[in-house]
Amino acid sequence: MPKGPTKRRPETQARLQEAARQVFAEVGFHGATISDISERAGYTNGAFYSNYANKDELFLALVDANAERVREQLQQRIETLNASDLTLDRIAELFAMVQPEDQQWFLISTEFTLHAIRHPDVARRFAEHKANLRAELVTVMETAFARTGRAASVDLGDLVRLLIAIREGSLRQSFVEPDELPPGHLERAFWPLLFNAVTTPVEGAQA
């Protein structure tokens, strides 16, 4: 089992996570071995097991790191806009942006999702980590809507689940047919309509 914290632990974990991200993307979650990850990070297997119990635990740490990346990017994009520039169309555009690292993450997260579906205990833990991301997105979206002078008329948790489902399905098609469907196209086209349908003006708010 992982040992207690040390001064070097954050650096070690960061290197193991980056190595795992690379190896998972190259050979898949099941194809990657702990030796592969440790070697790529420049450590021994002992260093791996001092920080993570297994590949599942390491991947869940990657889920949390990716969630923080997504949250920070969205929050920074929204905070840089003046109130007059923040419209429902602009919110949809900001949420629809696709970064170069998103394709790599899509590859490894899709395979791990299938792994989790086949193993209920892993699925339970995976769901708990994904719920943290949804909670963060709910806060970001609520704040963004408020700045436009609108509020959600539906449960924001359910709305975020729907947006994630659209996003994942859209990216799946785009990565297979990039010339026919550029990444983010469906989101930019239809999310403004959805946002307008599920929000209402706040009385007294200045939009």
Residue 1 is predicted with a pLDDT of 45
Q: Are residues 79 and 105 in the same domain?
A: yes
- Angle in degrees, CA 46, 64, 34, rounded to 5: 25
Taking a C-beta distance cutoff of 8 angstroms, is the pair 166, 187 a contact? Answer: yes
121: in domain: yes
Within a 10 A sphere around the Cβ of 184, how many other Cβ atoms? 20
126 domain residue, yes or no = yes
Give the domain-ending residue among 12, 33, 53.
53
Domain boundary among 53, 71, 87: 53
Residue 100: predicted pLDDT: 86
- Judge whether 143 lies within some domain: yes
31: helix, strand or coil? coil
Mark whether 9 and 77 lie in a shared domain. Answer: no
- Are residues 186 and 97 both part of a single domain? yes
Output the six-digit token pair for 196.
């307008």
Which domain range does residue 6 map to?
Answer: 1-53
Using the structure block, give the residue that is written with the tokens 């970001």: 140
Q: What is the pLDDT of residues 161-204, one digit of tens each?
A: 999 999 999 999 999 999 999 999 999 999 999 999 999 999 86
Q: Which parts of the chain sit beneath pLDDT 70?
A: 1-7, 204-207
Q: Are residues 159 and 146 in the same domain?
A: yes
Terminal Cα distance for the chain, rounded = 53
User: Do residues 38 and 73 both lie within one domain?
Assistant: no
Both 97 and 19 in one domain: the answer is no
The 3-class secondary structure across 127-195, one letter per residue, is HHHHHHHHHHHHHHHHHHHHHCCEEECCCHHHHHHHHHHHHHHHHHHHHHCCCCCCCCHHHHHHHHHHH
- 20, 62 Cβ separation under 8 angstroms: yes
Task: Check: pTM over 0.85? Answer yes or no.
Answer: yes
Q: What pLDDT is stored for residue 163 in this prediction?
A: 96
Q: What does the pLDDT read at residue 118?
A: 96
Closest to 62 in 3D by CA, of 118, 121, 130, 122: 130
Tokens, residue 105:
């993450």
Q: Give the count of domains, the chain.
A: 2
pLDDT at position 15 is: 96
Whether residues 2 and 60 fall in one domain: no
65 with 124, same domain: the answer is yes
Query: 185-197 vs 88-96: helix axis angle to the nearest 10?
Result: 140
Of the three residues 35, 53, 71, the one that is the final residue of a domain is: 53
Which pLDDT belongs to residue 35?
97
Q: Determine, yes or no, domain membership for 206.
A: no
Q: Examine the domain organization and report whether 91 and 20 are in the same domain.
A: no
Query: Could you tell me if 63 and 89 lie in one domain?
Result: yes
Name the residue among 43, 50, 44, 19 with its Cα closest to residue 32. Answer: 19
Are 10 and 36 members of one domain? yes
- Report which of 205, 9, 196 is spatially closest to residue 91, judged by C-alpha positions: 196
Evaluate whether residue 190 is within a structural domain. yes
Residue 39, domain CATH: 1.10.10.60
In terms of domains, do 19 and 92 share one? no
- The CATH number for 86's domain is 1.10.357
Buried b (16+ CB within 10 A) or exposed e, 92-101: bbbbbebeee
Q: E strand or H helix at 200, and its extent?
A: strand 199-201
